[in-house]
Chain A
């Protein structure tokens, strides 16, 4: 085995040495002859600079709306979202939102009894979701104006911080994305945030409906 490698190595060394020797020889001869080539190629090379194509797969924006927190009233919600479009059908979304909940009916009627402190009353959430564009197409406003729209189904997991605890939260929903411009979209989104809560004695699953309007930019 070893000797075969040796033979191969020597053969390669000779080949490389021989080739470079030949090259030098030919170069010297060309200089000696000093004859002009028969055909002078007259090809103009175009210098093509490949510009990078701007990829706009990310979408970022803010939203405002209403969130109904079970037992704690319907409240204004504000948040932000960042999405990445994987294909024309699928996208992933990271969203976060915040609202301040109001008193429960019990707290209001009893007068003095307070279930939560002020900071516990803040409701914040974040989630990671997968979306699917289910009905892409054009929608018409009047006779001559068409806007690109799509309806999407979305669902995912996340965390809700409310009433002094972090709660694992599922979210499912449906949204409409309207695109007046290539890089601008308006969202109308309906989402159900589902988590278990045992604040009022017995553990129960609470459904918290959210409806919001948002603006996003593609970049």
Chain B
């Protein structure tokens, strides 16, 4: 229930932030295509209900994915695809540059969050991370992974430094070093077991590919050494893949 409350309070914050952003006057453009089509909703399935001609002024109200909600001079409001706004003009006659997030923004990213899923020494692992770019090549990452196995569950928290080899390529390999802790609790149905906490170090290689808009695909392999209190250290191999979102 605490989680639900937390999410709800976050929502409130976001809604408040969105309301502040909406107070500005909308951007206006002039249509330069023969016509643009207004759909009833932001998607391919929603029908065209109105057409605005070349030379008409259009106010851009908001955006969802690749669709812009517009208001034309005659008062109708509808959704137009980004492609149709490509050949519009600013009020001073200059071509209007449709704002978009592309590879350029990816190269300038500062923060990133992501979720990956994979295999951690035979168990399922769900990993969440947050990253901060330090230079185009280097970034620092904080990881929290939940390892859910047949006989035990673990939570792993690590700090990593990542070196991206070719930051100006759409797909680039990287390598990483990290250290952290692993907390293991055996399943409740097993008898006479105790929870334990150990420190671990890890080294890994991976590849990341810029997909579209704010999305990145990422796959990696990490080798862990768990420094146990027993005689031998434990070695664990981890594979995982997932998506991240940058801003």
Contacts and interface: CB of A to CB of B under 8 A. Distances in A.
Majority SS at the chain A contact face? strand
Given A136-B43, A148-B46, A82 B117 contact: no
Contacts of B104: none
Contacts of B212: 86-87
B24 A98 contact: no
Interface residues of A, number: 57
Interface stretch (A22-30, A31-39, A157-165): A157-165
B66 A88 contact: yes
Interface string A191-219: 00000101100000000000000000111
A58 B1 CA distance: 22
Interface stretch (A6-14, A47-55, A65-73, A106-114): A47-55
A150 B126 contact: no
B102 to A, nearest CB: 14
Contacts of A56: 18, 62-64
Given A46-B91, A87-B212, A168-B148, A53 B27 contact: yes
B113 to A, nearest CB: 10
A132 interface: no
A74 interface: no
A142 to B, nearest CB: 17
B236 interface: no
A55 B99 CA distance: 11
A62 B148 contact: no
B153 A165 contact: yes
Interface in B15-63: 15, 17-18, 21-22, 24-27, 40-47, 60-63
Interface of B: 1, 3-4, 7-8, 10-11, 14-15, 17-18, 21-22, 24-27, 40-47, 60-69, 90-92, 99, 115, 117, 123-124, 126, 146, 148, 150, 153, 187-189, 212-215, 243, 245
Given A92-B243, A98-B4, 9 more contacts: A48-B90, A51-B25, A54-B63, A57-B65, A60-B7, A80-B11, A135-B45, A138-B46, A165-B153
25 contacts: A51-B26, A52-B24, A54-B62, A85-B64, A86-B214, A87-B212, A87-B213, A96-B3, A96-B7, A97-B4, A98-B3, A128-B126, A135-B45, A136-B44, A136-B45, A138-B40, A138-B41, A146-B40, A150-B45, A157-B126, A159-B146, A165-B188, A198-B189, A199-B189, A217-B11
